[in-house]
Each structure stands twice: as structure tokens, then as C-alpha cells.
Amino acid sequence: MLNRALGGLRATNLTQTTGFVAKRLLTSTRYLKGESRTPYEDKIYRQLAKELEPKSLVVKDISYGDGAMFAISIESGKFNGLSTVKQHRLVNRILKDEISKWHGLQLKTKKTV
């Protein structure tokens, strides 16, 4: 199944040719298996959904599953009229208690048209 998900590449070949990228990709197969969010991802998701009523929202733990770094992508009408910096500040304010525990955050915000 993993070979199919990687487009037929053998994991050993992928590791040899791309190094870190392959290690990062192969650390967790949770998304390849179609599994849902972790409990901590779900907590973050619910906080953002409650405050921002998003059109779309994706929360992913990208830190090998230890909850130290997250990638969040969110589209919301609450961002309309706000600059990107103000959108990010709004998300940071909502998640301030959680963010203080993290190593990093990749944040993408988008206004709903």
C-alpha cells in the first residue's frame, strides 16, 4: 500500500534520493491510511471552528506526532477586511495557550469571497 501511495517508488530508493524529505514523509502513515485527526489536532480544530466559523479548515501535526509543530490552513469570512498580518494575529490570539507549548506553526489564512 505504501508503494502505491508513493507512486510506485520503493521507500529505500526514495530515502536514498531525497534524504530528509523521505524520512519526514514516512514517519507517519496515518494520513495515507485515511485516519482522522489526533485528539490534540481535534482540540485545535474545535477551537478554531468555534471562533472563526471557517469555510475550510485543516489542522495537521507535522512534528512526527509529538505535538510540537502544526500546519494550519483556514478560510473564513471572519478574515474579510483584515490584512494577512491581522488574520494571523487573530488565529494566534485564539490559540495563544496552545501555541506557547509548540516549537513552530505553519499558518495559511484566506478570506472567504
Same domain, 31 and 44: no
Name the nearest CA neighbour of 76 among 60, 64, 63, 58.
Answer: 58
Give the pLDDT confidence score for residue 7 in this predicted structure. 54
Give the pLDDT confidence score for residue 8 in this predicted structure. 53
Same domain, 49 and 104: yes
Strands 104-111 and 56-61: unpaired
Same domain, 64 and 28: no
Which residues of the chain fall below pLDDT 50? 1-3, 9, 11-15, 17-27, 29, 32
Same domain, 7 and 49: no
Same domain, 29 and 45: no
Model-level pTM greater than 0.75?
A: no
State which residues form the domain around 59.
Answer: 39-111
Give the pLDDT confidence score for residue 35 in this predicted structure. 58
Same domain, 54 and 104: yes
Same domain, 6 and 57: no
Strands 69-76 and 56-61: antiparallel
Same domain, 43 and 90: yes
Give the pLDDT confidence score for residue 65 in this predicted structure. 77
